[in-house]
Amino acid sequence: GQSLEQPSEVTAVEGAIVQINCTYQTSGFYGLSWYQQHDGGAPTFLSYNGLDGLEETGRFSSFLSRSDSYGYLLLQELQMKDSASYFCAVRDGGGGFKTIFGAGTRLFVKA
Amino acid sequence: KAGVTQTPRYLIKTRGQQVTLSCSPISGHRSVSWYQQTPGQGLQFLFEYFSETQRNKGNFPGRFSGRQFSNSRSEMNVSTLELGDSALYLCASSLDPSNTEAFFGQGTRLTVV
């Protein structure tokens, strides 16, 4: 089957850097994505890694190591508006495509 | 262009009833996925459709079903509702199954009483 592990909560101060880790287990790995969800809102796409290495999009970066079944999301220059839940998601191509989400990491940004 | 539209936004049903939720994907998107979200459980995969065919299904009982129409709009149905079915049901669309970026609708909040 598939499973993803990520921390349930992370707290950081405004202006700091925070890293949210994600380990996964899947049979037909196709790629790792990250989504942000504010309370009462819909998840929104942040980044995708299909190959090993770092992808940078503004203040957000995402890393993938397929050999370690591990990835992380790095948020720099934290702002209060970054307080949200962050989900890693594995795109599994085995037996037909599907995207499996982790349980989410709740990020609290303090002033 | 318009985003993913889910209707209705809120729904209250009684145990034992059935419910149908609708999802209209972004124009041009042909792949639609459904998720159930409950507090602390993240997003649980229900099913994925492409070209009117169910491509994959999650670990949910047969009471949960869905379909996709030729215009890519999708519906999901839950029969014989249980209290535990109370959740936010999210629909996501993407261009096709190989596309890695999914766009989510605002969801349908279902409450079963």
pLDDT tens, residue by residue, B8-63: 999 999 999 999 999 999 999 999 999 999 987 789 999 999 999 999 999 999 99
List A residues 28-47 in contact with B (Cβ-Cβ < 8 A). 30-31, 33, 35, 41-45
Q: Cβ contact (<8 Å) for B97 and A97?
A: yes
B30 vs B71: CA distance, rounded Å: 8
* DSSP-assigned letters across all residues of A43-64: -EEEEEESSSEEEEETTEEEEE
Residues of A in contact with B4 (CB under 8 A): 42
Q: Is A106 on the interface with B (CB under 8 A)?
A: no
pLDDT tens, residue by residue, A26-80: 888 889 999 999 999 999 999 999 999 999 999 999 999 999 999 999 999 999 9
Q: Is A111 on the interface with B (CB under 8 A)?
A: no
Strand positions, DSSP E, A1-111 = 3-5, 9-13, 18-25, 29-37, 44-49, 53-57, 60-65, 70-75, 84-92, 98-101, 105-110
